[in-house]
Amino acid sequence: MIYRETGNFVTNYFKDREIFPLKFDKIIVILGLLILYLYVPTTSEYTLSAHVIPILAVGLATVGLNILTGLTGQLSLGTAGFMCVGAFSTYNLMLRMPEALMSLPVALLFSGIFAGLVGIIFGLPAIRIKGFYLLVSTLAAQYFVWWFFNSYAWFLNYESSGVVAIPPKMYDYWGLGNLLGVDMQGYPARYVLALTVCLALTYFAKNLLRSNTGRNFMSVRDRDIAASVMGISVPRTKLLAFFVSCFYCGVAGGIYSFLYIGNVDLMIYEIDRSFTILFMLIIGGLGSISGSWLGAIFVYEFPIVFTWIGDTIFKGAFNTAVVENVSNMVYGIFIIALLIREPGGFAALWATTKQKLRMWPYPH
Amino acid sequence: MDWVYLIEVLVGGLMSGVMYSLVAIGFVLIYKSSGIFNFAQGTMLLFASLTFVKMTENGIDFWTSLFIAAGIMVIFGIATERYVIRPLANQDLLALFMATVGLATFQEGFSQFVWDSDVHGLQMSKFLDIGLLDPAPIFMSDHIPWLDILIPKFDIFASLVAGSLIVVLAFFFQKTKTGLSLRAVSDDHMAAMAVGIPLQTVWAVVWAVTGVIALVAGLLWAERVSVSFTLIEAVMKALPVILIGGLTSIPGAIVGGLVIGVGEKLGEIYLADVFGGQGIELWFAYFMALIFLIFRPQGMFGEKLIERV
């Protein structure tokens, strides 16, 4: 087989810490990056706008939730609320800061920090409250944030319709588009920005997982009392997890509003979205970064594919409500079946497949 | 300060609290017996009341539909235990929670697929000739001269139903053999199994009972708000209630419901101006629960957790 795990000898500590220690993996990653950066932007505008960019946005939020729920063990249903904070603060930063200081990437960074701070505020109860009781805190965040942006029209620049379209000048990037001769508002440019942010943050998350901080997160998840006995400050770790997680969600919210739909709309950050992202996390596998992305792709594409099947195979013999209901039923059954067969989600499924391939053709 | 108005508000709050408690009881039953945070409670409400309403709309009389709907809920509960809970026994609690969210998604699609997704009104006064179901409110001043407040009759009916449901449950739990084994299981799974209590049967009973409670709660909610998709949101209303009351306590669910109901109404009146906006009831209950839990992390009547390494 081409895929060889043997014959890789680590000769120094730097090599020992590599994310992709195998030569074959490195080739795959480089090829993947080339495809992502060179081929995908040239695909149709529809593919980018309806499939790729939204998946990038929700996938990033899933990675964020993974840091909180998968790594630190704090169940959260406030993901959409924190995304909402990100989207609104990106918009307001772009709107109110001098143009020379603000550009979309900078605004995304700061809105992530804002969302993280909001996350810390709603994470404070986690110091006292544990388990399912903590749901009340994140749900309070979800509903409060939603209500807050709904009630104070200042944040939407007094737009009476409740939806504000993002003006084209916000995609200016300090005149970079004119300089390169690229339409920065077009989907390929949006995609490249979203992809870069997502890759950078995924890389960061992957490294966080392997760092001292990440191990602290996991020890708090596994047994917080044991962690505190070992000298890990549990409150500090939990709040840090809330900050990092909500930072991711905030950036994801900014990407969702700015690079995907192109307007700031409160309606897309309702509680349903929090559940969708939790589904992505569970289906992908708790605690696995690559699993989060797989889960995001699956959950996002599932209803689309299902509707497509309903439309093309049955030629619209059933109306959309029926298709939607059947889609919900199949989806529910699928989740239960997956939890029963493989509670570790796609990540565990992938690990098993890899193990089987390694042994192939001899099962033992 | 207008005292009569205040009392009216308090009574209204207590009555809506009863509605929350009804949903919360189902939650607590399942959590107590199996540690599962049952998110499908809201869709069970929808499924039960939709089944009932569609049957009455097709000309089946009240009691028959009620019994058939209850029977369907019992079958559904047993099937849930058999095909969802049993294969997942001993899994991580989060996985079980997600399974119930999956169950909720399934049920949401299923109930609207089998029946329909229209909004149905439900008027029980059409079927039952009880004076209490008359839409006109009761003037308390007719009975108690100095108390000049209005109470909707239906609220009294709902409270009576809730009260009798609780009495029946209390009897079931304290006096029957099944109730005894339920209590044993909720105390300690392993010990209960060791003395020969069939865990799976007990869980099936709990899910079936919860289904019937969902039917009762669903009908009362439906009478108030109509049978539609929005019934699912009842579950979000009941969440702070059970968290305040403590996840493992039925009295907690009731007291929690009343506290949230009254608190919400008072907050709406006295705090809405402070926050300069409408709709604070969206999050007010959660903040109440949050503040309460910071002082008492296990809820009002929840079991105090003793943790050891």
pLDDT of residue B131: 61
Which residue from A125, A150, A225 is facing B290, i.e. has the nearest CB? A125
pLDDT of residue A34: 94
Interhelix angle A79-96/A104-123, rounded to 10 degrees, is 140
Helical ranges in A285-344 per DSSP H: 289-312, 320-341
Which residue from B98, B117, B286 is facing A143, i.e. has the nearest CB? B286
Task: Give the distance from residue A9's alpha carbon to the nearest chain B alpha carbon, in angstroms.
Answer: 38
Using a CB-CB distance cutoff of 8 angstroms, which residues of chain A are in contact with residue B288?
none
Q: Which two tokens stand for residue A355?
A: 């193990």
What is the predicted ipTM?
0.85
Q: 3-state DSSP call for residue A264?
A: strand
Which residue from B236, B283, B297 is facing A129, i.e. has the nearest CB? B297
Structural domain boundaries of chain A? 22-359
Residue A68's pLDDT band, with cuts at 50, 70 and 90, is very high
B309 in reach of chain A (CB within 8 A): yes
Using a CB-CB distance cutoff of 8 angstroms, which residues of chain B are in contact with residue A65?
none
Q: What is the mean pLDDT of residues B202-206?
A: 90
Task: Give the distance from residue A139's alpha carbon to the nearest chain B alpha carbon, in angstroms.
Answer: 7
Q: What is the value of pTM for the model shown?
A: 0.90
Per-residue pLDDT reduced to its tens digit, B134-171: 666 666 556 665 666 677 777 788 888 888 888 888 88
- Supply the Cα-derived Rg of chain B in whole angstroms: 20
pLDDT value at B229 more than 80: no
Interacting residues of B59 by C-beta distance below 8 A, sequence separation 6+: none
pLDDT value at B234 more than 80: no
Using a CB-CB distance cutoff of 8 angstroms, which residues of chain A are in contact with residue B293?
125, 128-129, 133, 136
A22 in reach of chain B (CB within 8 A): no
Q: Which two tokens stand for residue A312?
A: 């093309």
- Does residue A288 contact residue A214 with C-beta atoms inside 8 Å? no
Which residue from A135, A137, A326 is facing B113, i.e. has the nearest CB? A326
pLDDT value at A129 more than 80: yes
**CA distance linking residue B149 with residue B74, whole number of Å:** 41
CA closest to B240 among chain A residues: A136
pLDDT of residue A175: 73
DSSP characters over B97-130: HHHHHHHHHHHHHHHHHHS-SS-B---GGGT---
Structural domain boundaries of chain B? 3-232
Q: What is the mean pLDDT of residues B281-289?
A: 85
In this structure, are strands A263-265 and B150-151 parallel, antiparallel, or unpaired?
Answer: unpaired
Please count the residue pairs, one from chain A and one from chain B, whose beta carbons lie less than 8 angstroms apart: 142
- Does residue B153 contact residue B138 with C-beta atoms inside 8 Å? yes
Q: Which two tokens stand for residue B175?
A: 């006096």
Q: What is the biggest distance separating any 2 CA atoms in chain B, rounded to whole angstroms? A: 62
Interhelix angle B153-175/B3-34, rounded to 10 degrees, is 30
**CA distance linking residue A86 with residue A107, whole number of Å:** 9
Residue A296's pLDDT band, with cuts at 50, 70 and 90, is very high
**Helices and strands per DSSP (H, E), number in chain A:** 16, 2
pLDDT of residue B147: 63
**CA distance linking residue B253 with residue B270, whole number of Å:** 25
**CA distance linking residue B7 with residue A95, whole number of Å:** 48
Q: What is the mean pLDDT of residues B276-289?
A: 79
pLDDT value at A141 more than 70: yes
DSSP B138: E
Distances (CA, A) of B155 to B11, B234, B257: 10, 17, 14
Which of A 251-290 lie inside 8 A of B, CB atoms? 271, 275, 278-279, 282, 286
B88 in reach of chain A (CB within 8 A): yes
Q: Which of A332, A291, A297 is nearest to A66 (CA)?
A: A291
Task: Give the distance from residue B153's alpha carbon to the nearest chain A alpha carbon, in angstroms.
Answer: 32
Percent residues over pLDDT 70 in chain A? 98
pLDDT of residue B309: 62
Percent residues over pLDDT 90 in chain B? 12
Beta-sheet strands, E only, within chain A: 163-165, 263-265
Decide if B293 and A136 are in contact by the 8 Å CB cutoff: yes
Which of B 240-299 lie inside 8 A of A, CB atoms? 240, 243, 247, 275-280, 282-283, 286-287, 289-290, 293-294, 297-299
pLDDT of residue B134: 62
Please give the CATH topology (third level) of the domain spanning A22-359. Answer: ABC transporter involved in vitamin B12 uptake, BtuC (1.10.3470)
CA closest to B38 among chain A residues: A132
pLDDT of residue B78: 93
Distances (CA, A) of A154 to A108, A159, A282, B236, B274: 20, 8, 37, 29, 18
Q: Which of A223, A120, A78, A127 is nearest to B294 (CA)?
A: A127
pLDDT of residue A14: 84
Decide if B239 and A135 are in contact by the 8 Å CB cutoff: yes
